[in-house]
Chain A
Amino acid sequence: MSSIKMRATLGENGVTTVKVLISHPMDTGLVKDKNTGKFIPAHFIQEVVCEHNGTRLLTAEWGTAISKNPYLSFRFKGGKAGDAIKLNWVDNLGNSDSGEVAIQ
């Protein structure tokens, strides 16, 4: 299952609102595992890229201080119903995932 839940809604004013939820632990590297007493290594998303018709809408650079299971919302002009919005994330361990949704 994809780690990305995404919704893109076109408003009457021609502005598309994109809302994204990603499931990811976003470990800071500062928290100790209660069972082993060892620090849980940092594991967090570093970059999120969002595109519309091949044009980049947003590049988000993230540190460890973005909350677990990150939420992101932004708005843009020029979207039409049915257009594809693509999103891709990469974390500090080299994992990545991508998702796509049509504007409603």
Chain B
Amino acid sequence: MKRRIFLKGSLATGAIGIAVGAGLITPRMVLAAWPKAAFDSKSVDGAIDSLFGKSTLTGSDKIKIKAPDIAENGAVVPISIETDIDGVESISLIAENNATPLTSSFVLGKGTLAYIATRIKMGKTGNVIAVVKAGNKLYSASKEVKVTIGGCGG
């Protein structure tokens, strides 16, 4: 098993290596630190804990989540998150009832505004949770999305 993982890993780095060698991508742009444990976590708390090292969230009404009340197709659920909290460092997007709840995490640069829009897959009805990291604190808000047809396979 370990050997298999190792082989997989070396194959992957091999492909990136070739791309870097060919000057297609600059090395520092390659996978800084993809938080595998957080994405593999099967619980919301586990994912948040693994991502930030703690899971204490402060509820905030300064975070606005735009999402449909009912998503007919769980494979494509448009979500946007906006907040006017000061000094936002990152925004993470969690679908509570997905097999692995963490969908994505966005680290913002200096001039980047605290606004993110994307489309996610949702397995079934549940809350979409936005976790905003600002000044070493975690703020969160959630919104329920009813899913008619799940979008994670099966």
Residues of chain A whose beta carbon lies under 8 Å from any beta carbon of chain B: 15, 28, 30-32, 46-47, 49, 52, 55-68, 70-78, 88, 90, 92-96, 98
* CB within 8 Å for A30 and B153 given contacts A94-B15, A94-B16: yes
- For the complex of A and B, 6 pairs with smallest distance between CB atoms: A94-B15, A30-B153, A31-B153, A65-B103, A67-B119, A73-B117
Interface centre among A65, A66, A67, by most B CB within 10 Å?
Answer: A65
Q: Does B25 contact A (CB under 8 A)?
A: yes
Residues of chain A within 8 A of B100, CB atoms compared: 63-65
Dominant secondary structure of chain B at its interface with chain A: mixed
Residues of chain B within 8 A of A94, CB atoms compared: 11-16, 19
* B side interface size, CB within 8 A: 49
* Contact among B11, B34, B78 with A47 in the assembled complex (CB-CB below 8 Å): B34
* CB within 8 Å for A65 and B110 given contacts A46-B34, A47-B31: no
Nearest CB in chain A: distance from B17 CB, A: 9
Nearest CB in chain A: distance from B5 CB, A: 13
CA distance in complex: A57, B78 (Å)? 22
Residues of chain A within 8 A of B1, CB atoms compared: none
Asked whether, in the complex, the Cβ of A74 is within 8 Å of the Cβ of B115, the reply is yes
Residues of chain B within 8 A of A55, CB atoms compared: 109-111
Residues of chain B within 8 A of A32, CB atoms compared: 153
CA distance in complex: A94, B11 (Å)? 8
* CB within 8 Å for A61 and B34 given contacts A30-B153, A98-B25: yes
Nearest CB in chain A: distance from B90 CB, A: 9
Asked whether, in the complex, the Cβ of A30 is within 8 Å of the Cβ of B99, the reply is yes
* Contact among A31, A52, A59, A75 with B115 in the assembled complex (CB-CB below 8 Å): A75
Nearest CB in chain B: distance from A31 CB, A: 4
